C-alpha cells in the first residue's frame, strides 16, 4: 500500500534516536519505506536477520565519505522507486531530553537532490525503552511529526532540523 499519514509522495524522514522502540515504530509510518542502518546490525541474531529482509541501505559508519555517497546514491534509487527513506542522522543514541547530537547533512542532501520533503520526527521513547536495557517500562511515548524542514541549501536545512529537534527535546520530559 502506497501512501500514509504523511501523504502519498516519497519523503525523507529524519528521527532522533534513543533506543530500539523507534526502530520498530517508525517502520509503520509510511509504506513502502527503507531505512539507513549501520551494516553491523544485520549480523545480530534474529533481529538483524529480520531487519535485512526489509532491504535497508547498509552503511559503514567508519567510512564517512563513502557512506554519505552511498546514502545519496541508494537513497535516490529508492525515492525514485517510490520508497520513503528513514534516517537517524545522529548516528548514535541520545538520552531523552538531551539536545540532539551533531547531524550528518546527508538527509538534507538526499531530500534536495530528489526534490522531496524532509520530514522531522521527534519522540521520547527512551523514557520507557531505555538504551541497552532489557527491561521496558510502561508509559505513553510522545511522537511529534513536524512540517517539512526548509532551507536554501543542505547546511541551512540541517541547521533548521537540529533547531527543531532541540526545541522538541527541551519539552519532551516535562
Q: What is the DSSP letter of 147?
A: P
* Average of per-residue pLDDT across 70-82: 96
Helix (H) or strand (E) holding 38: strand 33-38
Convert the pLDDT of each residue in 135-161 to its tens digit.
Answer: 887 889 889 999 999 999 999 999 999
Q: What is the DSSP letter of 148?
A: P
Does the pLDDT at position 94 exceed 80? no
The predicted pLDDT at position 12 comes to: 96
Q: Which range is most confident: 13-17, 46-50, 76-80?
A: 76-80
Entry pTM: 0.87
Q: Are 65 and 109 in contact (CB under 8 A)?
A: no
Domain 3-171 -> CATH class: alpha beta
Mean pLDDT (the chain, rounded):
85
The predicted pLDDT at position 129 comes to: 67
| Cα distances (angstroms) measured from residue 53 to each of 41, 60, 86, 118 | 12, 18, 16, 25
Does the pLDDT at position 102 exceed 70? yes
Higher pLDDT, 20 or 172: 20
Helix (H) or strand (E) holding 145: strand 143-145
Does the pLDDT at position 3 exceed 60? no
Amino acid at each position: 500500500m502506497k501512501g500514509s499519514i504523511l501523504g502519498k509522495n516519497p519523503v525523507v524522514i529524519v528521527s532522533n534516536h534513543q533506543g530500539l522502540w523507534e526502530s520498530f515504530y517508525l517502520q509503520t509510518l509510511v509504506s513502502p519505506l527503507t531505512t539507513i542502518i549501520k551494516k553491523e546490525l544485520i549480523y545480530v541474531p534474529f533481529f538483524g536477520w529480520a531487519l535485512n529482509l526489509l532491504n535497508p541501505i547498509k552503511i559503514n559508519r567508519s567510512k564517512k565519505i563513502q557512506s554519505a555517497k552511498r546514502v545519496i546514491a541508494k537513497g535516490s534509487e529508492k525515492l525514485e522507486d517510490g520508497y520513503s527513506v528513514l534516517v537517524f542522522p545522529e548516528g548514535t543514541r541520545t538520552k531523552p531530553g538531551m539536545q540532539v547530537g551533531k547531524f550528518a547533512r546527508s538527509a538534507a542532501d538526499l531530500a534536495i537532490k530528489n526534490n522531496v520533503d524532509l520530514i522531522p520526527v521527534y519522540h521520547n521513547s527512551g523514557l520507557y525503552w531505555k538504551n541497552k536495557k532489557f527491561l521496558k517500562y510502561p508509559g505513553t511515548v510522545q511522537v511529534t511529526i513536524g512540517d517539512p524542514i526548509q532551507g536554501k541549501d543542505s547546511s541551512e536545512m540541517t541547521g533548521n532540523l537540529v533547531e527543531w529537534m532541540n526545541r522538541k527535546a527541551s519539552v519532551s520530559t516535562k
